Amino acid sequence: MKWVKPSQEKINVFLKILPQGARVEPRKMFGYPCAFVNGNMFCGMHGNDVVVRLPENRRKALVASGWTPFEPMPGRFMNEYLVIPEKVLSRPKDAADVLLESLEFTAMLPKKVKTPK
């Protein structure tokens, strides 16, 4: 499977809507910009898509309104993650609100502990 490098324009959009603060840990995963809280990823990019982690009830409502589950490889869904539609990304305030919601949800999860190698 060939992975798509995100455009600089999309990276700039992602960085603009990314919440700021000491809890937010920006880093790359598989070469894509992502953000973590307590060691857990709450949002990131895959190709030119921006994905967010949300609670089940919120995901169901968003899927019903046209959002799609995040499928990084055909048939391989990342449970809890959705792709933010372009119509939402084109409204920076709305997109930033979704990333903040994702941050708050993920911050409530147990802290991820690194296992020694």
Q: What CATH number corresponds to the domain at position 91?
A: 3.30.1460.30
Domain, as residue range, for 65: 8-107
**pLDDT higher than threshold 90 for residue 116:** no
d(CA 56, CA 80): 7
pTM of the model: 0.90
C-alpha 48 chain-centroid distance: 12
Is 112 within the bounds of a domain?
A: no
| pLDDT score for 1 | 54
Is 117 within the bounds of a domain?
A: no
Is 44 within the bounds of a domain?
A: yes
Is 65 within the bounds of a domain?
A: yes
In tens, the pLDDT along 19-70 reads 999 999 999 988 899 999 999 999 999 999 999 999 999 999 999 999 999 9
| pLDDT score for 115 | 79
| pLDDT score for 51 | 97
Q: How far is CA 62 from CA 38, 48, 55, in A?
A: 25, 20, 11
d(CA 49, CA 85): 8
User: Which residues does 101 contact at the CB level (< 8 Å), separation at least 6?
Assistant: 52, 54, 58
Note whether 67 and 82 are within 8 A (CB): yes
**pLDDT higher than threshold 70 for residue 114:** yes
| pLDDT score for 68 | 95
In tens, the pLDDT along 74-112 reads 888 888 999 999 999 999 999 999 999 999 999 999 998
Is 29 within the bounds of a domain?
A: yes
